[in-house]
Every structure is written in structure tokens, then in C-alpha cells.
Amino acid sequence: MQDQQFHKADSGASTTYPTQCSSLRKNGNVVIKNRPCKIVEMSTSKTGKHGHAKVHIVGIDIFTGKKYEDICPSTHNMDVPNTSRLDYQLVGLEDGYMSLLKDNGEQKEDLKLPINDLGKEIQSKFEAGELFSVTILSAMGEEAAVSIKVLAT
């Protein structure tokens, strides 16, 4: 019998975890139509003749800002994205990409400069020579800059 080899490219951690619909809260996160969303509105209907109260959830995509809605029985599970926020120091801008420095000295150069007001603010502060860190939000295999913090000199 031949030895089987298994190769895995990811960390083994899931990008989401299940949570009962009734325990979700406003300002929390949830996956709606396969997109990580922040819950901005929730309402629960009364139990119907089939015995389930329904939860109506309105969420805003945390990366694109697009609005999504879903209705789920309160006893069913919904996926919640595993999100992380990390601060990186901006050390360079080239061809629309940010060159970021992690705390351990590693460089990260695969993130695009946002095409919004935050991106314009990052560009102008960098050109002015200011020292600041960029907060990167990660969820479900996507990353985006969400805020900046001026570093004390």
C-alpha cells in the first residue's frame, strides 16, 4: 500500500464560525450572501404557525459598503466571519500599493491603497512625511485599510 500525502495551503482555521441567529446583535458581524457584513438593523417577528420566530437582518459589507438583507429562523445557525484588525506602519507607496511594516519587522506589500477619502488621506499624510500606522481589517480571505492613527514622535 502506498503512503498518502496530504498538502494543505491554509492555516486550517475556518474563515467563519456558526452562531445561532437569535444570539446575533446589532453592530456585530455576520455573513450575508457570502459577504462579511456588519449588522446595522435587526428585527424579530413573532412565531408563526410553523413555530419559528424569524429574524430579519440588514448588514453593510465591511469591505464594499454594499447593503445586504437576510431572513433566518431564530433557532437556525448563521455564519459569523473571523475578523482581525492589525496596525502596520506605512513605509512606502508605489503604483497604488502600500508598503507596510509589521511589528516584527516583516514587510507587507500586497495591499492596494483604498480608492476613497481614506486613501486620499493616507496619500497626503505620507507625502507630508507624517509618521502614522494603518489599521488593516481582515476577514474571509480579504483585507482592506479601514483607519489610520498618527504615531507619537
State yes or no: pLDDT of 9 exceeds 60: no
Give the DSSP H/E element, type plus range, for residue 21.
none
Total-model pTM:
0.78
> Residue 35 in contact with residue 19, Cβ under 8 Å?
no
Instruction: Quote the pLDDT of residue 83.
Output: 92
Instruction: Find out whether 145 and 125 touch, Cβ atoms under 8 Å.
Output: no
Assign 31 a pLDDT band (cuts: 50, 70, 90). very high
Domains and CATH numbers, the chain: 16-81 (2.30.30.30), 83-150 (2.40.50.140)
For residue 13, what pLDDT is reported?
59
**Residue 105 scores a pLDDT above 50:** yes
Q: What is the pLDDT of residue 5?
A: 60
pLDDT of residue 12: 47
* Other CB atoms within 10 Å distance of the CB of residue 80: 19
Does residue 18 contact residue 78 with C-beta atoms inside 8 Å? Answer: yes
pLDDT in tens, 51-98: 778 999 999 999 989 999 999 988 899 999 999 999 999 888 888 888
